[in-house]
Each structure stands twice: as structure tokens, then as C-alpha cells.
Amino acid sequence: MFVVTATEQTLGWRAMHRTISTRLIHYVTLTALLFGFGVSPAQAQSQTWAPVVITPPIVDTIDENFVSVISGKLAFTLPAARLGDVSFTPISTNNTFARPATYYGLMDTNYGSIAICMPSPPSQSYAGTTDCSVPSTAGPGLQAIYGRERATFTLANGQYSSYPQDGSTFVDNGSACTWTKRDGTQIVYAAYHVSGDPRCYSNNISQIIHPDGRIATYYYSGAFSTQLFQGSPILSIATNSGYLLKYNYSGTPTLGGETSVVAINRAFETCDPSATACTLTAAWPTATVSRQDKILAVSDGFWANTANYNPYRHSTLTIEDATHKKHVFELDSYDRVISYQPPQATSPVYFYTICTMLSDGTSLINCFGYTTWDQTLKYWQPQGMLLGIVRSATRNGQTWSYGYAITPDTSYQGPSIWSHTVTNPLGRRMQAQGNATPGLEHSFGPVDSISHYDGTIENYERSVRNYIAKQQTPAGITRIYGYSPDRGNLLQIQTNPISGSGESIISQSAIYPSTCANIITCNKPTSVQDANTNTSYFTYDPAHGGVLTVTGPAVNTAIDSTVNSVHPQIRSTYMQRYAWYRSNSGVMTRETRPIWVKTSESYCRSSEPASPGPGCSATNDEVVTSLDYGPDSGPNNLMLRGSTLSSGGQTLRTCYGHDPRGNTIWKASPNANRTGCPDY
């Protein structure tokens, strides 16, 4: 996906200001857990029984003009380049406020850093800090950043704690700091420290380590940056499955200044990840980035805070994805998107007006009724929060109007409230509101509610964690979501019927480990109960978190006119395998760091599973699907080569063939009578 955000200026009413971003919802999808090790549901053996799924809703907060109903800013999404487990997903144009001519500043989801939290209430010296909604009473805070993801931690007595209590952890080992997400994924940062501040600082991710053993290693131009808030440009990202994401530059690499990004399969192409450039012999998925200055005859007339600002200079940013679709954006002199031309168009289709301060440093345009901003009182006025927010969008001659308001707290005890509205040409509205005062999330959430065009309303927890607490449909059905207070695991979904319908309340629930001795498994459910009080039970491998067993509620089966009550169970096994790909010198080489892959999945047709396993309590009752990832030789990216179904003395083998890009280009059915699946 590609996101262009109209970036926010650092000026503002800091006591009320917070950066609002779309929140990632932590949820449990048990089907995904079952097939999470290189095997899709379509590839694995289908079952007549499936485990229950308990998950909160996924809320779409982006309207039809690509404007976020939460932040009021633009959020364009599109695929750019992807291969295997590497991908390139731009997320913003970096607004330097006065862009140097040589700095393009395109950021993507692969970048990450650690931001130091600003105290709340803030001082007037907050350069280089971010508002993490951490009150001064909570202790020094920092925010770990990876692409669009954020996690906030506070430091006390040498230990970091998750401020929103979302189940993640943070550890400072001196030269490296590690954010471990609630699923066990580790984001490892190259650390440095500033005199007088015990917190970890970082501008660069060094590795991402997944529970199943997949590792992405970052290579940068030059050494890891230790200059305050200045990251190093990425040269490449290499994985131990044999894939490489190569960033290419015109001249000296600059942060965000790539001209193209290529996804390479090193099993078939040699490329040194530490090299500035590679000569490639094959065509690989490529995203290209081009930017051209567009000099205007009429000045934008915006306020300039550096000597480099040029009010006459717009630019055209073009992203061409791997399928050769072009997305064209015009950026104003602040590098904010003011028009968008989608691939199917030959000229801009979307046009935007944005709240901005003019060159006199006082006058405002498109600022929701505000026309001036008194700079002498800049910390205690709402105008600063409105800068950069979309005021209107026009498409095909029709206009969408946006409203953004700040309601100050007059008692000086409660939160101030932000609210954002979208009114479409038919008069229908979307609306969101939340807390604009960091440190008071316990009384009013960062996002408190969102109402949609169709009348659906979501209410969020009044906490820093801010998960969805309730959803009400236009018909009047209400779903209430309950989470554990310590790690944010979804414990219950209660569905209340339409008032007066006579229907009963429906409840679904899940149970998790009471303590978190192993973060890889502690946030996965050990049991889930559906609306009919049927319970499924789960066990996991502690090494990588893959599902070992799923045991369902008792069902009746009939064998020779005898009715039996059995508990269906799906069992999975795993092993460590090694990818094979070309070294920096072009020699086919076995990777030294293994990856866990699922090797089998089995179930009993009509009897209880044997205890202890493997096997079934009845003879010849087990159905086993074995999964084939090819020989221990190269080339091999550990893609699924085939599956073998064994039951009742019969064996049926299905094989798959792939091209170097990982596409399945042929399939051999069991009738082919293959004895193995050696082909790539």
C-alpha cells in the first residue's frame, strides 16, 4: 500500500495537540493461526469442522476521497512492489516545511525509529520530540515506530513498561533496543544514547525477527545515524528466506530520495545487499519514483520558516508500481498533496484545499472559520492543530466539505475535544471525535467515537490503548467488546439484539494464559467459546507460536449403526528448514538461520484422537496431509512444492511449480502419480 499524508506542522496548541493516527486493531483470527506457516487454507486439506473465530470489527476510517475521518488528512493506498516476504509501501512525503531542492523525503513502511515523548503539559522547548500522550507523572517516555505502527513505553527504575498496556515490551541492551510486539515479533533498533537522558535513541532499524525464524536485515548507506532525529538511507533489506529489497538512488543516497525499489529473489539473482547498486539480469518487480519541480507564476504565499522555502515551487510526484500503474500527485510548496491523478485518468481527478498559514505569520486560509492566529499565544489556541488538515475535496465537479473543531475545556480539569466531520454532496455525514489533551485518556479516549454514512457507530475505550469497545448498527444491534486490562486480549463479544425483538443476548468469549511467561504464545487464546456455548481448545508450540492442536466440541458420528461422541482435533507438526540462495559472490549457498515451516496436518475421520498422539484411537482412521518444501538444496525459498494426502492406505500427491517470482505456474494433480515434487 502507498500512503501520502499531508504532514502536520510542529507549531500548535501543544497542551491540546496530539498526533492522531489510524489505530491497528489487535484481534484473534484463529484461521490465520492455523495456516500461518507458509500454507494457505486453499492449499491445506479442507475440514468439515472449522474452529470458531472471535474478532472485533475492522473499521474503515478513510472516506471516498482518501481523507482520514480521524486525522482529517490524506491517506492514499496502493501496492508498489512486493516479492516473497519483502515489500515497498510508501506512506508519506516528508514535509521539511522548506524542502531543500535535493531532498525528496519519501518515507515508507520499512523505515522505523524511536521518538522521544514530549512532557505533558509541554514546555516551549520541544524540538525533536513527539506527543506520545504520556503525562509527566508516568515518567520519561518514548515511542517505538515501525512504518505506521506505534508503541509507547515509559521508563522507571531502569525498566520499560507498555504505557497503553497492550502486551508489548521494550528492552535497552546498550547498542540495541528491542520492541517486542504482542505476537513475539522483534523490531531491533540500532541504539545510541544522549548525555543526561537514560532513554534509548535510534534513527534506524537493524533487524526484524519473526517468531517463526524469518529475519529481515537492514543495510544502510554509511554507518547507523546517531545524529539527532536524522535517519540513514536504506540500501537494501535482505531476508533469510532469500529475498532482497533493493533501494536505488541517483547519485549519493539520501534519506527518502530513492528513484526506484526492486524486489529480487536471490535464489536466481546475485546482488550484494551492502552494495550501492546491483547489475541485474532479470526483470523483477520494480516501483519507480520520480519527482519534477513545477514552477508557478503565482506564489503560494505561505509562511516561510527557513531560507530554503520557495513559494513558487510545486512538484509532481509520480509513483509507478510493479504493474506499471502510475499514480500522480501534485504537491504544493509545503510538499502537501493538492491533487491526485489515478492510473485510469489522464489528468488530475481529485483536488484538495488545505488549512494553511500565510506569509505574514498571522493570516490563515481554509482553516474552518479561523482567519488569524496570534503567535504570541500560540500554545493556547486551537489553530495550530488545524494546519495541514483538508478543508474540502472536489471530484468530477462535486464537493465534499470537511469540518474540524476544537472545543476547549473551560474547567481546566477535563479534556479538550477534537471533532472531524465529512459531508458528501448528498448531505450525508461521517463524524469522529476524541480527546485533544494528552494525559487525560482515562476520561476521554484519543478517539472516542466514529459514525459512518450508513449510521453505524463505533465507540472506543476511554484509555490510551483505545480499542473498539462498542459497535451499533443502524438496525439497533449492539456489539460490546471486552479486553483484558493487562495485555489487551479480546475476552468477550456480547451481541445485544434489537430492542423489543424478543431475541436473546449472544455471547462469545476467549481465555488466555493468566501470565505472560512467553510472549510468543501468551496472547493467543487457549480456548474460545461460540454463541452456542461450544468450546474449542488450542495448544501452541512455545518456540514459534504455531498451532499444535485445535480440539473442537464433542460431535456425534455413526459407524456401523453405532453412535459415538468424539472431539474432532486437528494436529500440526513443524520443523526447521533452511533456504538456499546465491551468496554475494554468486555461489548457491545454504542459509545458516533456519525458518520454522508446517510439515503436516492431521485429523481423525470418526474416532477420538489417540492420547498421547499421534494417531487415532481407531485403526486406519487418521487422515494426514504432509507438506513438501523441496529438497535441501538450491534454489529454494521454502515455498510449498506440494502436499500429500494419506488415508486408509492410499496416498494422493499434488505438486506445484513456481517461477522465480513465486507465481504458481503449474499444478500436477494426484492422477499424475508423482513420487515427489522436486521441481521449483
pLDDT of residue 510: 96
Q: Which domain holds residue 662?
A: 554-680
Q: Given the DSSP bridges, would you call strands 286-295 and 260-265 parallel, antiparallel or unpaired?
A: antiparallel
pLDDT at 185: 98
Looking at the domain assignment, is residue 139 inside a domain? Answer: yes
For position 426, what pLDDT does the model report? 95
Q: What is the DSSP letter of 588?
A: E
- Quote the CA–CA distance of 139 and 154 in Å, as a whole number: 6
> Is 500 part of any domain?
no
Kindly state the average pLDDT of the residues 237-266. 96
Task: Tell which of 186, 215, 232 closes a domain.
Answer: 232
Question: Domain for residue 635, yes or no?
Answer: yes
Q: What is the pLDDT of residues 215-236, one digit of tens each?
A: 999 999 998 888 876 889 999 9
CA distance 246 to 276: 9
The helix/strand count (H/E) of the chain reads as: 2, 47
Query: Per the structure, how many domains does the chain have?
Result: 2
**Statement: residue 14 has pLDDT above 50:** no
In a domain, 646, yes or no: yes
- Tens digits of per-residue pLDDT, 509-527? 999 999 999 999 999 999 9
pLDDT of 558: 60
The pair phi, psi for residue 290, each rounded to 5°, is -135, 145
Judged against a pLDDT cut of 60, whether residue 23 lies above it is answered with no
Using CA atoms, how far residue 23 sits from 94, 446, 547, 600, in Å, is 21, 10, 27, 36
For the residues 280-306, what does the mean pLDDT come to? 93
Between CA 227 and CA 539 the distance in angstroms is 46
Whether pLDDT at 24 is above 80: no
pLDDT in tens, 473-506: 999 999 999 999 999 999 999 999 998 888 899 9
User: For residues 667 and 677, is the Cβ–Cβ distance under 8 A?
Assistant: no
Q: How confident is the model at residue 11 (pLDDT cuts 50, 70, 90)?
A: very low
Buried b (16+ CB within 10 A) or exposed e, 169-202: bbebeeeebbbbbbbbbbbbbbbbbeeeeebbbb
Residue 477 domain flag:
no
pLDDT at 219: 97
CA distance 538 to 549: 6
Residue 609 lies in a domain: yes
Asked if 481 and 490 touch (Cβ cutoff 8 Å), the reply is yes
- The maximal CA–CA distance of the chain, rounded, in angstroms, is 90
226: its cell numbers: 546517531
Q: Identify whether 442 is part of a domain.
A: no
pLDDT in tens, 604-650: 988 889 888 788 999 999 999 999 999 999 999 999 999 999 998 89
Give the model confidence (pLDDT) of 562-614 as tens digits: 556 788 999 999 999 999 999 999 999 999 999 999 999 999 988 889 888 78
Domain endpoint, select from 198, 217, 232: 232
Q: Which of 185, 214, 232 is the last residue in one of the domains?
A: 232
Q: What is the pLDDT of residues 368-390, one digit of tens each?
A: 999 998 766 655 678 888 889 99
pLDDT, residue 291, reads: 92
Q: Can you say whether the dihedral through the CA atoms of 280, 282, 286, 289 is positive or negative?
A: positive
Pairing of strands 129-130, 112-117: parallel
Residue 94 inside a domain? The answer is no
Q: What is the pLDDT of residue 122?
A: 47
Q: Indicate the pTM of the whole model.
A: 0.89
Q: What is residue 404's predicted lDDT score, i.e. its pLDDT?
A: 92
Task: State the pLDDT confidence band at 560, using cuts at 50, 70 and 90.
Answer: low
